[in-house]
Structure 1
């Protein structure tokens, strides 16, 4: 089977591309990266420096015409987590309009308008997507699944914590794959029992095995009217009906809670450290130590709002310094810079306490060393990239499993 052509949206510094290209089965034919509200397009500059500027777009995707995007087999992207609710369009009562500036609807528009629709979608988001918004838990994901069903796609999803499969960072993300009705994979999913697909036959379970325990599948159908679904989904219940694994086909949901199955060795924080070569600027000054200890420590105190209102504030302590014999905590976008912080990583070394270097942050996401090193890009921005990035190893394993599954299923349907 030939390489699959990929369109990479919301590309950042190219995590999806790195993971897919590592398998040898994918070729990126077009990419887009645009950071709103910033003059310098730092992530796009890194992307072009690593992969070249050919077929790379640094324009707001909402302003890119679908005809300007070449046909592709796989559309991938880690799109921003926003409020995905829909409203009826004023111009056309049959049309649907997502909220302006919500980038899920750019994916939807491309899928709607493409004559040759991509056969496969490979998307990523924060796991909060399954329970957003707090007033209608699960509505946003329901809107996505219903709209993908309407466009002819079957979907499978899983919340994956990279560290539970031997990777160096505890980073939980929801990954979802979609298969167009024209593909053998769609037919294969449709002919499979939901439990079998989720537990062992699906693409994601092939990439990331789960325990075959006694599970109860929760099944329900999504309202066919997208506006009604957006307005009325789960308005009374407190919990989201979407569990950490599931499938959706023709608007019918089957979802169940799965447990990771991994018996390999873990990668821990000490495995990725630059031993002895870290920049001296990363070390914490003695004069700042008390501030770090306060921010990382447990608190029970009275605080005051600007308006003078007093309230009780409490929070638990963080491990300080970070445990070297465990996978790291999740990297956040504010990881860079010298200022003391509750959430930045701090490690104990022979020379003293220090923050993590840009290279170490890259390693925690399984990027090549110095992938984000570029003249004019400060270390704090490099840390920001990694706070936004995904773990490349997760993409590589799912990409590999997708290619193998397509080959396997096509052979079955040909024979």
Structure 2
């Protein structure tokens, strides 16, 4: 029987595609809604590729989360926001999070449906937020799962470290019910054993036997009161860790790296399927801007090193500096992290020398799709080219979800086998 999945903040379907590749998953309900846009391009892309379904919703998640059906696995790539909480009036109504923070919609579903597993994705800076109280937001999240009856394991993964074509660092959070048979089995093992060998991530994303000695953090207990965490708790979280019953161990693990796919291989794969890219992607050096620079010269400036004197709003003068970046990009290495501004005239956009025309150009939308391991043409659903870039800047690397999906299948199979064994032993006793 397929593992039933609910997908929140679905975007253009990265979790769905990855789990489809892992096989034996069924997305029984999904939600994607962008409140700031009239045309719902991401949702339209989702249903165009994955099919129309009355359970694929395009409404405010705050309004429709109670309609989620029973499911085994809850997934989502939620926005990084301010997760502070406060006690409601006189404390009689419990704890309230800030209005509009979408993580609380995840917790609403967790509390309502109690899925066996939760898999979330976010930017790696989540572990350090906010700057004024490092680690507070992630601590609030961990405490929320603790109070809901879940253990949590997390890992920051750079996709290129495990063979993919983009140096994209994201934190993945796997939560599982602490009264499950899987959890009871895990409790027999030390936190270090789980993080390095037998937890959720290590079997699929191997690491060195010992963590980095330069980044040691003492294990600690989360305060029982989540408001106390929000008001004044601060901790340093490393790139991996585990939380069980409020007890946290966090280590800086060192990945055992695989040979990564290169940007050049991505360019070649798209060329082999589609031929030369559109002429509009090449830099236009026939005109100069207000600063007297051609488009090529503007990119030389944007990607070059700088030391610039600036003045703050208060009148304080300071030096802004930034290091230089490769221009054009190397095709012999994986791509840098794509941002939502990809394809525009800014420092972060990938600009390459086309190996077939020898002219300088932006990446095509199809090349950006392949950098995230989506099928070529996934976002070619009628949305503007600028939106295609934006969606890929927001997306995750699909192949990572495929790998994690296969690991969830192993855990689910183990859970089912242990349940059957218990039933057989009880029947034999009777």
- TM-score tier (shorter): over 0.9
1:258 aligned onto 2:264: no
Partner of 1:373: 380
Partner of 1:73: 72
Gaps of 5+ in 1: 235-239
Gaps of 5+ in 2: 286-293, 423-430
Q: Across the two proteins, how many residue pairs are aligned to each other?
A: 402
| Paired residues for 1:4-403 under 5 Å | 4-54=3-53, 55-66=55-66, 68-90=67-89, 93-114=92-113, 117-213=114-210, 218-234=218-234, 240-262=235-257, 264-273=258-267, 274-275=270-271, 276-286=275-285, 287-303=294-310, 310-337=317-344, 340-349=345-354, 350-375=357-382, 377-403=383-409
- Partners of 1:265 and 1:299 in 2: CA distance: 33
Pairwise CA RMSD of aligned residues? 1.8
Q: In structure 2, the residue corresponding to 1:328 is in which secondary structure?
A: coil
The answer to whether the Cα contact below 8 Å between 1:161 and 1:171 also exists between their aligned partners in 2 is yes
- Partners of 1:301 and 1:75 in 2: CA distance: 47
Superposition deviation, residue 307 in structure 1: 8.4
Superposition deviation, residue 326 in structure 1: 0.7
- Partners of 2:86 and 2:240 in 1: CA distance: 28
The answer to whether the Cα contact below 8 Å between 1:218 and 1:256 also exists between their aligned partners in 2 is no
Superposition deviation, residue 90 in structure 1: 2.4
- Name which of structure 1's ranges 309-318 and 18-27 shifts more when overlaid on structure 2: 309-318
- Name which of structure 1's ranges 179-188 and 154-163 shifts more when overlaid on structure 2: 179-188
- Partners of 1:353 and 1:334 in 2: CA distance: 18
The answer to whether the Cα contact below 8 Å between 1:345 and 1:355 also exists between their aligned partners in 2 is yes
Superposition deviation, residue 302 in structure 1: 2.8
CA 129–65 in structure 1, closer or farther in 2 if over 3 Å, else same: closer
Partner of 1:237: none
Q: How does the TM-score come out when normalised to structure 1?
A: 0.93
CA 65–393 in structure 1, closer or farther in 2 if over 3 Å, else same: closer
Provide, for residues 199-225 of structure 1, a one-character-per-residue CA deviation record: whole Å limited to 9, x for no partner: 111121112111112666731100010
The answer to whether the Cα contact below 8 Å between 2:211 and 2:254 also exists between their aligned partners in 1 is no
- Partners of 1:180 and 1:366 in 2: CA distance: 31
Q: In structure 2, the residue corresponding to 1:47 is in which secondary structure?
A: helix
- Name which of structure 1's ranges 82-91 and 241-250 shifts more when overlaid on structure 2: 82-91
Superposition deviation, residue 111 in structure 1: 1.6
CA 214–90 in structure 1, closer or farther in 2 if over 3 Å, else same: closer
The answer to whether the Cα contact below 8 Å between 1:336 and 1:381 also exists between their aligned partners in 2 is no
Partner of 2:425: none
Superposition deviation, residue 304 in structure 1: 5.0
Provide, for residues 260-305 of structure 1, a one-character-per-residue CA deviation record: whole Å limited to 9, x for no partner: 113x432010000033521111000123111111111111233456
- Partners of 1:307 and 1:149 in 2: CA distance: 44
Superposition deviation, residue 256 in structure 1: 1.1
The answer to whether the Cα contact below 8 Å between 1:32 and 1:59 also exists between their aligned partners in 2 is yes
- Partners of 1:172 and 1:225 in 2: CA distance: 31
Superposition deviation, residue 309 in structure 1: 6.4
Superposition deviation, residue 412 in structure 1: 5.4
Provide, for residues 56-87 of structure 1, a one-character-per-residue CA deviation record: whole Å limited to 9, x for no partner: 11011011141x11111000001000010101
Superposition deviation, residue 333 in structure 1: 0.2
Asked which structure has the greater CA Rg, the reply is 2
